[in-house]
Amino acid sequence: MNTNLLTNTDVKIPEISLGCMSLPHEKLTSHAIIHSAISHGINLLDTADLYQNGLNEEMVGEAIRDKREEVILATKVGNQIRPDGSGWDWNPKKEYILEAVEKSLKRLGTDRIDLYQLHGGTIDDPWEETLEAFEILKKQGKILAFGISSIRPNVIRKVMGMNPPATIMMQYNPLDRRPEEVVFPVLEQSDTKVLVRGAFAKGLLINKEAHEYLGYDAAKVKSVQDFFNSFDISPEALLIRFGLNQKAVGSLVIGASSVKQVERIARSYEESEGIEEDFIQAVRRKLPANFYHDHR
């Protein structure tokens, strides 16, 4: 599988990564999914301390106990779970990040996190101390690189002007082309790579029943779904190439809840490599465009 280098590291991330939020609660099944992904070169595992209140990190850590050097571990911080378990609160402060990383390291059973990501962010966050926390952790060797997860152009511009992250995670697919307007052009001029989530639009562009999505009514979603299923190329392969065709994109983070899904993703990636640039551009011209209205 093709890879992209994370800036200021020797870490090479695969063009397809495994989103671990979709892993089933049954450990043996989840371990099998992770092992299958690794065997197919899908060796960036993306989890978060929020997923299943930390149990997702534990499950990932157990699955890679004997495979740590084969994988790239990515997790997220910023959503502080309340002591009573009633929910969580946003906390991007330095003190919390330095405390939370220790718990993630323990759950993951490792001495380092390859990519530590802020799980959100607003323009009013205390970015100086947030970014300072990540730099402290890099100097301590507890993380190799940091990223943010944000779809907000104003936040992305601010952080890029202060301390460019190795990665920015955001949603991108044919029904959500908002990053094309502002964010991709900015990031194409940098070494920061985009981690794409939602590349399949939650299955809406493959085989799930059409429903309203980002302002598009069900009929419009169905028309785009039919379009992607009208070729002699699998919709998964077409969607993978659609995402990877963007210069700023480093990897598509795709979830899987079974080994069969991992195998299908791997086959679709191989199929996608035969799709020509001109074909993707022709597909893009026939699709609707949308734009950011907030947080510009």
Q: What are the catalytic residues?
A: 51
Provide the H-helix boundaries in 71-194. 94-108, 127-140, 153-162, 183-187
Of residues 291, 180, 182, 276, the one with CA closest to residue 231: 276
C-alpha distances in Å from residue 166, one per residue of 28, 121, 178, 267, 279? 32, 16, 21, 28, 30
Neighbours of 93 (CB within 10 A): 16
Maximum alpha-carbon separation in the chain:
54
In this structure, are residues 205 and 236 in contact, taking their beta carbons and an 8 Å threshold?
A: no
Cross-strand pairs, 149: 169
Structure tokens at 181: 């307007």
Helices and strands in the chain: count of H runs, count of E runs? 10, 12
Q: Are 114 and 73 in contact (CB under 8 A)?
A: yes
